[in-house]
Structure 1
Amino acid sequence: MEYQFIRDPITGFGVKISDEHTLVGRWLSEELPHNEVAQLIAKSKAIHKDSPMLVKEGKEIRFTLSHDEALFEAHALFHQADDLSNYGDDALVLDEHGLVSGCGYEDFIALLEAWYQFIHRN
């Protein structure tokens, strides 16, 4: 996973990341409070094979971490099908592209530690 952290004077901290990981970047820059990063690193490193998954509900994104992977799911995925039925005449369909993203456990820990270093240096 390739990424580049940026500091924008208007929007604050952000991350440029590959298209398939866009949701991960949004979660880091929009959903994860800066003062919770160190605590999340500690909790993440404590996850083992027999540990329960760590789940963090955000405003728009659900984060789930197991000993194998980190999964990011936009809340839009969980809308009931009957919500869209009201718009049947408009032929609307939920496009799931960009609504789910994931990465391996080790890659996530490395990303999180790099993010922590970046936001605390700048």
Structure 2
Amino acid sequence: MEYQFIRDPITGFKVRVSDEHALVGRWLNEELAYDDVLSLINLAKALPQNKQTLVIEGTEVRLTLSCEEALFEAHALFHQADDISHYADDALELDEHGLVSGCGFEDFMDLLQAWYQFINRI
């Protein structure tokens, strides 16, 4: 996964990733508080030994982390109660592009550790 960290004097720290991983970048930019990065790194390091799965419900994105992968899913995917057939006349449909993204566990850990180092530079 390719990424670029940006320090913006107005909006703070940001990460820019490829379109394929846009939801990962959105989660990192909007869902993960700076103070929680180290805690998440420590929790994630224990996953391979515990063989457990960690699920973090964010405001708009859910992270499901296992020792094999990190899966990001936008909550919009789970709005099955909404009957989009009412909007058929408007030619609207649910586009799932950008609502699901994932990467391998090692790639995610590399990203998290690099992010932690970037936001803690003085």
Say yes or no: TM over 0.5. Answer: yes
TM-score, structure 2 as length reference: 0.93
Q: Could you say which residue in structure 2 is the equivalent of 1:57?
A: 57
- Gaps of at least 5 residues in structure 2 are none
CA shift for structure 1 position 117? 0.3
CA shift for structure 1 position 88? 2.7
Q: 2:12 aligned with 1:12, yes or no?
A: yes
CA shift for structure 1 position 83? 3.0
Q: Could you say which residue in structure 2 is the equivalent of 1:80?
A: 80
- Gaps of at least 5 residues in structure 1 are none
Moved more, 75-84 or 35-44: 75-84
Q: Is the 8 A contact 2:69 2:103 kept in 1?
A: yes
Q: Could you say which residue in structure 1 is the equivalent of 2:119?
A: 119
Question: For 1:121 and 1:57, how far apart are their aligned partners in 2?
Answer: 28
Q: Could you say which residue in structure 1 is the equivalent of 2:35?
A: 35
CA shift for structure 1 position 81? 5.7
Q: Is the 8 A contact 2:52 2:67 kept in 1?
A: no
TM-score, structure 1 as length reference: 0.93
Q: 2:115 aligned with 1:110, yes or no?
A: no
Question: For 1:67 and 1:49, how far apart are their aligned partners in 2?
Answer: 9
Q: 2:71 aligned with 1:71, yes or no?
A: yes
Question: For 1:63 and 1:75, how far apart are their aligned partners in 2?
Answer: 10
Deviation sequence 1:11-42 (CA, Å, 0-9, x none): 11101111100110111111001100000000
Question: For 1:11 and 1:49, how far apart are their aligned partners in 2?
Answer: 38
Q: Which SS does the other structure have where 2:47 is aligned?
A: coil
Question: For 2:59 and 2:81, how far apart are their aligned partners in 1?
Answer: 21
Q: Could you say which residue in structure 2 is the equivalent of 1:94?
A: 94
- Runs of 4+ deviating beyond 6 Å: none
Letter in 1 for 2:56: K
Deviation sequence 1:35-64 (CA, Å, 0-9, x none): 000000000010027522100001110001
Q: Is the 8 A contact 2:6 2:16 kept in 1?
A: yes
